[in-house]
Each structure stands twice: as C-alpha cells, then as structure tokens.
Amino acid sequence: MPFAIITYFLKGAEMTLSEYFYNDFYKNLFGKTWPKWVGAVVLALLNILLFLYIMPLGGIYPAIADWGIWTYKLVGLDITPPWGSLQPPHLSIISVLSVSIMLGVLTAALLSKQFKLRKDTVGGYVQGFLGGTLMGIGSFIVGACILGGFYSSIMALSLSGFYMMIGLIAGGYAGGKLMVWQGRKKAEKILLDFKVVPKDTVSKDYKSIQPKIGIIVVIVLLVLSLIYFLKGMNLFGGIILFGAAFGIVFQRSAFCLTGAFREIFTTKSNGMIRNVILSLLIGVIGFSIIKANGFRSANMFVLPSGWHSIIGGIIFGFGMVITGG
Amino acid sequence: MGMLWRSAEGYIRHWVALLGAMLIAGLWVPLYGYQVGNGWLYGPQIFLPDKLGWAGALIMVLLTLAGCYTFFTWIEIRKKRG
C-alpha cells in the first residue's frame, strides 16, 4: 500500500486517486483471474502461516458434519458427530474457518462481478446431492476431506496423503468420464433445441452493484473479526482473517482441486495438477521446517493410512467431480 | 472445499450438495459404531520421518512429487503430439 501511494504521487496530477486505485489496484486484483501459479504459491504460504498460527487448512468436512448434527438436533435427534465433540458453530475453529472461507469467496466473487445465482435441472440437483453425500462418505473413510486428507496431509509428511492421492486420481477419472458422457448428451440436446441454453439470470444493472455489496461483506468480515478480538477470543479473530484470505485466493486464482484430478486422464490438460504439485512442494518444505524445529507437534495432520485411504479417495474423487467443482 | 466455494458463488446445485454432506454426517456413527479414526477400518498413522528419517522422508516426498509432475506433463505432451 505505501508503494501504491508513492506511485500515486510520482504520477502527479495525471490521474485522480480514485482513478489510480481503479486502474492499478482494483482492476489488477479483481478485473482478471490471477495466474494459477500465483494461487499455488500464495495458498502454500498461507497454509504454512496457518499451521504456525494453529493448524493447517482442513476440517471443512468435520465442520459440515457438525452443521448436519446441529440440524438433526433441531428436529430432536441427538446423534454423536463423526469427528470429535460437538461445538456451537461460533465457538468451533473449523466452523468459523469454513464460514470465513465462504465469505472470502463471496467477497472476491462480488468484487469481480462474478456472483450469480445459477439454477440447475432437477437431475443436476439430484447429482449434486449424491455428490455431496459421496464426498461425506469418502471423508469418513479417509479420515478427512481433500484439503485435510490430501493437501495438508502430504505437506505434513503423512503417508495417508499419498494414498488418498491415488484414490483421487482414480475417482476423478471415473467421474470425469461420466461428465464427458453427460456433456456429449447435453450438446446433442442443445443442437436439437436451442431453447435449453440457460438464460443469464442476472441483469447488467444488478452486476454493477456487486462490488458495492462486496465492500459491505468485507466490512462484515472485519467487524466479525473485531468482535472476537474484543471478546478476548483472538484465535477466532485471526481465523476469520485467514479464512477470508484463503477464500479470496481460491476464487481469484480459480485454484480448483476438482478440476486438477478430473483432467489428468480425461482431457489430459494438466496445468492445474502441476500447480497443485507446485503448491505441495512449497508446503512440504515449510511444514518440515515447522515440525523439525518443534514449533508444532510432529503428529499434527498425520492421518490413519491404509486401503481405506485409497477407497475413500476414490469415493471422494468421484463425488467431487459429479458435483461439479 | 469446492462445495463451499461454488456455494458462495451462487451455484444452487452446490447448496444441495452441502445439504447432502450435512445429512450423511448423521448416519456415520449409528451405522459404523465408532467415530472417524477409530475402529477396525482405519490403518496406522504413519509419519514418514519416523520410518525414513528426516532426510529420507524429504527426499522421498520431493522425488515422488517431482515424479508426478513429470509424469502428468508427459501425458499432456504425448496427447498434444497425438
């Protein structure tokens, strides 16, 4: 930021401050998708910092499972959660992290005018429901979802991460083949009937107010973080900022793990998986320094490993691809 | 992760996926009998430096990742060459 201000003064009266921020700051950050390798590097560095702060990126499915158990509680069913003990969402690190990631994605989508309510067919919803269910089952069997069981687990030098990777490649391939088949069917239908091409459900006027709503979401995030800090719950305040940063980087760089595994043997366009590996290489070095020096427990994010990791990876990989990442 | 991401971008299919993932959580312990990580299903926790030493583990992990990187690139190049 200081450099931006200095540059502004160097440019003298050629442009106003608002023009400068629009052209050199906003348009660079939100006007175009970031290169994938930038996402790979920044996500790895953020994950290293988050590991130093409290834990690596993970716990997304345990958080979703907690929300499910709370939903069951609302209708009077008292069920033991699959992971750990049940915490109220606002007092659970993983829930706060997951919601912050979502708000970070929402912020980036709004600021870049990419938020849009996208309807689907009944078949699409059924497929989404099945995909979500399969990802849940895969997470139970592996012991964690793709972020905790693969991404952070490999960085943490856990053998389970490599087992899950084998499963994800197989499951991603099977799901990818199904998607290719569905794509062909859809294309045939579109050729026969042009009316099935989905209409843009958002008007241009609506798009123009998105950045303003995005700024409101940023303010909400900062206020939520501040509330936790003021209540002395500094850990949660920091987690909100971390989560938002992860969400923004994921959305802006389109760093898609689903796409990475889906494409390996289907379209064989492997730029995304190469960036995932680049991210892992950086993370492995960072995590090793942290663990070897005893800054964090060596066993952190070392998950059970065995055939279940591969089978769970296959189920998770298939589920994530048919959901459509 | 993709589910949270796409949900926040407005994909209604992913809201439904999120619902599926939430509801299945209620079946795991009643059906399997244990929480995740416990019981007959799960293997041992293997921290690679415990088995191979720090240098061995790092060399193995970095070489495996570099090997995967090369293999996936080779697949792509082979496809482009037809």
How far, in Å, CA of A23 to CA of A270, rounded?
33
Q: Which residues of B touch A139 (CB under 8 A)?
A: 36
Angle formed by the axes of helices A234-253 and A93-111, to 10°? 40
| Closest by Cβ to A117, choosing from B12, B32, B44 | B12
Question: Could you give the ipTM of this predicted complex?
Answer: 0.95
Alpha helical stretches, state H, B1-81: 2-9, 12-32, 48-81
Q: Which residues of B touch A303 (CB under 8 A)?
A: 37, 45
Burial of A110 (0-12, 13-18, 19+ CB in 10 A): buried
Q: Which residues of B touch A103 (CB under 8 A)?
A: 8
Decide if A239 contacts A57 (C-beta within 8 A). Answer: no
Dihedral sign for Cα atoms in the order A309, A315, A264, A128: negative
Q: Which residues of B touch A79 (CB under 8 A)?
A: 26, 29-30
* Minimum Cα–Cα distance from A159: chain B residue: B46
What is the per-residue pLDDT across B4-24, written as a single tens digit (0 to 9) for each?
889 999 999 999 999 999 999
| Closest by Cβ to B17, choosing from A147, A160, A323 | A323
How many other C-beta atoms can be found within 10 angstroms of the C-beta atom of residue B46? 17
Residue, of B51 and B80, whose pLDDT is higher:
B51
Are the Cβ atoms of B1 and A101 closer than 8 angstroms? Answer: yes
Residue A77 Cα distances to A80, A289, A303, B23, B31, angstroms: 10, 45, 30, 12, 15
Decide if A219 contacts A240 (C-beta within 8 A). Answer: no
Model pTM score: 0.91
Per-residue pLDDT of chain A (325 residues; tens, 9 = 90+): 555 665 656 565 567 777 777 777 788 888 889 999 999 999 999 999 999 999 999 989 999 999 999 999 999 999 999 998 999 999 999 999 999 999 999 999 999 999 999 999 999 999 999 999 999 999 999 999 999 999 999 999 999 999 999 999 999 999 999 998 988 888 777 666 655 545 555 555 555 799 999 999 999 999 999 999 999 999 999 999 999 999 999 999 999 999 999 999 888 889 999 999 999 999 999 999 999 999 999 999 999 999 999 999 999 999 999 998 5
pLDDT at A13: 58
pLDDT at B2: 82
How far, in Å, CA of A176 to CA of A127, rounded?
14
Q: Which residues of B touch A81 (CB under 8 A)?
A: 25, 29, 35
Are the Cβ atoms of B76 and A269 closer than 8 angstroms? Answer: yes
| Closest by Cβ to A302, choosing from B5, B47, B68 | B47
